[in-house]
Structure 1
Amino acid sequence: MARPAVSSVTRRIFLIATEESGDRLGAGLMKVLRQRLGDAVQFQGVGGRAMAREGLVSLFPIEELSIIGLAAVVRQLPKILRLISRTATAAVELSPDIVVIIDSPDFTHRVARRVRARDPRIPIIDYVSPSVWAWRPGRARAMRGYVEHVLALLPFEPEAYQRLNGPPCSYVGHPLVEQLATLRPDAEEQRRREADPPVLLVLPGSRRSEIRHHIAVFGQALGRLREMGVAFELVLPTMPHLAEAVRAGIRNWPVAPRVVIGETDKRAAFRTARAALAKSGTVTLELALSGVPMVAAYRAGAAEAFILLRAINVQSVILANLVLGENVVPEFLQNDCTPEILAAALRDVLADTPLRRRQTEAFAKLDTIMATGHASPSVRAADVVLATLRNARRAVQA
């Protein structure tokens, strides 16, 4: 297929984001690119509401890919494959100056490989690295065949790509580093954080399947903690689409939490919390940046656990531990995720103990570890996209 000549005026950028977190990253990137290029840029591809506000008309609603659980994926596989094919075809037919895939590697990387096979001249940027450092490390080397550059959210990822012989990788920064003002307490909130009874957060997950696996054991652990004579004010932050599942799950908890809904109220709870019980995930990094010591746990279905526990090749699955480079947050996985174990660990992290002090001292290092200089993550990401565009343009003209 003959590729149209690249316009000297307009840059065509095809972006693909299929989850809300990726949609927010894509919107931030689009905003900076629009500031840099003005009207000389056109955006197309797949995205959600945030990217739509920046001018993207999505090929399809990203809610069509909100599929949770292995059984659901199997049932929806023909639909998923059709959407992959449709997205790749749209990208090739547009013949953009660059494709930016954002997170969701099970979808976006399949699109990228098809685009590369059909038109190798289109450069591809991967915004958010898959967890090649944790499992399936061979993916890094394979990505060299269809990705020009990886934009990393975590500071240790460029070294991992170099070690695994992957494509060039640049640390652009995690979006959380732009949100520190909403995570850190003011003077009044700090007084509440230090006051009794302490605010204890419980965070069972951001997906229905995660809530289903954690809600009962977390409730039992909190009941055991209360039986130990530990006083606390329990707060459970969640999102609107999960509120019904959460309320159903806590109906029989021995300790009733105060449920707060939405990102604003969640951050307010973080700013007053003394400690947290959290499902392993990005929330552990969010808590660490907030200065909230925690206990982290994870339970999965039997089949998923069998695969993951044999595939993971890192010393910790806690994101905060990985960024810090030391295992300061205790993690209790599968059979170790029991009410008795969790309650004992929570008692320690709520009190002035070596465990709590070690966490707070480590968390104080995160600003330096995750620093991005004077540029925001979106600006740093845009810098790489524009540099790749310039290099591709020079290659066409050569």
Structure 2
Amino acid sequence: MHGRAPDITRKIFLIATEESGDRLGAALMKVLRQRLGDAVQFAGVGGRMMAGEGLTSLFPIEELSIVGLAAVVQQLPKILRLIRHATDAAIDAAPDVLVIIDSPDFTHRVARRVRARNPGIPIVDYVSPSVWAWRPGRARAMLGYVDHVLALLPFEPEEYRKLRGPPCSYVGHPLTEQFASLRPNAEEAKRRDVQPPVLLVLPGSRRSEIRHHLALFGETLAQLRASGVAFEPVLPTMPHLEAVIREGVQGWQVKPQIVVGESEKRAAFRIAHAAFAKSGTVTLELALSGVPMVTAYRVGAIEAFILRRAIRVPSVILANLVIGREVIPEFLQENATPEKLSQALGELLADSALRRSQIEAFATMDAIMSTGNQPPSVRAADIVLATMRNGRRTS
């Protein structure tokens, strides 16, 4: 596993276009460098963290921070140009392996083009697209251009087997390496039960999500307070969204305390009694932190129309899918009303069956998501190296 003779330099081309993918890419690059020493060259697309590990990105990943169908349509010529640019660069580099990381709408288009133009380049997909949730045919299609899928969620390899997709291995979710920052110490655990309880308010991490959720979240908190429930709302956000959030909550009757940055967010998680969150990755973060939650999700009418017909799972909440049953209530689209949400939150803030069942279910997640003693980045790097050495299609 420790690479080849030092005079043979291995070229690894990586493509990550979002911050979460950039983090995964950087951790993977670090282990690959440990494995291969100076005999490795990195090229491709990445953000600040991958740059820190020695990648000079073809273009700033901020150029692709586009969310929502309308925005995508507007930016389509630019997106297609960047897909061509990344494909041409990968072909010119003729790497020993291409690693595409998340962002399937971009990375898979590049992978398909690379496979068509140079079928000899092995391709690894780090982070499975949600084939288990919608577009299951994608798994079978990926056989044509992906040699191995690195899954973050433990149920995904079985889904690929069922859907006849490429070989898929569970490497572990990066959150499993972050328990120390997610879980309370003795003092913080006490604060979780002090009155008034801290209620985390998490309306989303993208501008479009925040736009769809802010008014709903504000009205829900107002109704919860009006019903006589005491709570201390804390809204964690990131620096680039702070202005949007501060402006958006100005009209709220119940003003949340806004905390900014990743470490402040984690500190709030460690003292929270409950959370009111937009469905998404944050539900997994909350569950691993042991914070019970109620979730809501609203999108635009066109997206809702498409998703309704496409979704093939009973829940869109990652924590529910990992646990294997629906312990976290989710309120979607027209079902997400301040009345229903405030009622569920009132129940969650009390010592209720809803609260207890979530806490018990969350206690099982460590075992379900365990990767033994190997960190995800190490497991991922080993499969990338095996795929690189064996060439096309490894199992």
Same fold (TM over 0.5): yes
State how 1:354-393 maps to structure 2 within 5 Å: 354-392=353-391
Listed as ranges, the gaps of 5+ residues in structure 2 are: none
The residue number in structure 2 matching 1:154 is 153
User: 2:126, 2:149 within 8 Å by CA — same for their partners in 1?
Assistant: yes
User: 2:16, 2:45 within 8 Å by CA — same for their partners in 1?
Assistant: yes
**Does residue 282 of the first structure (1) align with residue 289 of the second (2)?**
no
Q: CA deviation at 1:394?
A: 12
User: 2:7, 2:39 within 8 Å by CA — same for their partners in 1?
Assistant: no
Residues 124-158 of structure 1, C-alpha deviations (whole Å, 9 max, x = no match) = 00000000000000000000000000000000000
TM-score, normalised relative to structure 1: 0.96
Residues 278-305 of structure 1, C-alpha deviations (whole Å, 9 max, x = no match) = 0000000000000000001100100000
User: 2:234, 2:256 within 8 Å by CA — same for their partners in 1?
Assistant: yes
The residue number in structure 2 matching 1:217 is 216
Counterpart secondary structure, 1:297 = strand
Mapped partners of 1:286, 1:345: distance in 2: 20
Q: CA deviation at 1:72?
A: 1.8
Mapped partners of 1:393, 1:230: distance in 2: 59
Find runs of 4+ consecutive structure 1 residues off by over 4 angstroms.
none
The residue number in structure 1 matching 2:41 is 42
Mapped partners of 1:76, 1:253: distance in 2: 33
Amino acid at match of 1:146: Y
Counterpart secondary structure, 1:386 = helix
Counterpart secondary structure, 2:277 = strand
Residues 78-135 of structure 1, C-alpha deviations (whole Å, 9 max, x = no match) = 1111110111111111110000000000000000000000000000000000000000
State how 1:228-243 maps to structure 2 within 5 Å: 228-243=227-242
Mapped partners of 1:318, 1:393: distance in 2: 34
Aligned length: 390
TM-score, normalised relative to structure 2: 0.97
The residue number in structure 2 matching 1:62 is 61
The residue number in structure 2 matching 1:128 is 127
State how 1:1-398 maps to structure 2 within 5 Å: 9-392=8-391
Mapped partners of 1:221, 1:249: distance in 2: 15
Residues 253-288 of structure 1, C-alpha deviations (whole Å, 9 max, x = no match) = 111100000000000000000000000000000000
Mapped partners of 2:110, 2:169: distance in 1: 22
Residues 218-273 of structure 1, C-alpha deviations (whole Å, 9 max, x = no match) = 11111111111110111000011111111111101111100000000000000000
Amino acid at match of 1:58: S
Mapped partners of 1:393, 1:263: distance in 2: 39
Listed as ranges, the gaps of 5+ residues in structure 1 are: 1-5
Judging changes above 3 Å, is the alpha-carbon distance between structure 1 residues 394 and 227 closer, same or farther for their aligned structure 2 residues?
A: closer
Q: CA deviation at 1:75?
A: 1.5
Higher-RCO chain (CA-CA 8 Å, sequence separation at least 6): 2
Judging changes above 3 Å, is the alpha-carbon distance between structure 1 residues 147 and 7 closer, same or farther for their aligned structure 2 residues?
A: farther
User: 2:148, 2:393 within 8 Å by CA — same for their partners in 1?
Assistant: no
Mapped partners of 1:150, 1:59: distance in 2: 24
Residues 326-385 of structure 1, C-alpha deviations (whole Å, 9 max, x = no match) = 100000000110000000000111111110000000000000000010100000000100
Amino acid at match of 1:270: F
Amino acid at match of 1:129: S
- Percent identity over paired residues: 74
Q: CA deviation at 1:69?
A: 2.3
Mapped partners of 1:393, 1:194: distance in 2: 54
Residues 19-38 of structure 1, C-alpha deviations (whole Å, 9 max, x = no match) = 00000000000000000100
Q: CA deviation at 1:7?
A: 9.4
The residue number in structure 2 matching 1:3 is none
Judging changes above 3 Å, is the alpha-carbon distance between structure 1 residues 54 and 90 closer, same or farther for their aligned structure 2 residues?
A: same
Mapped partners of 2:85, 2:242: distance in 1: 34
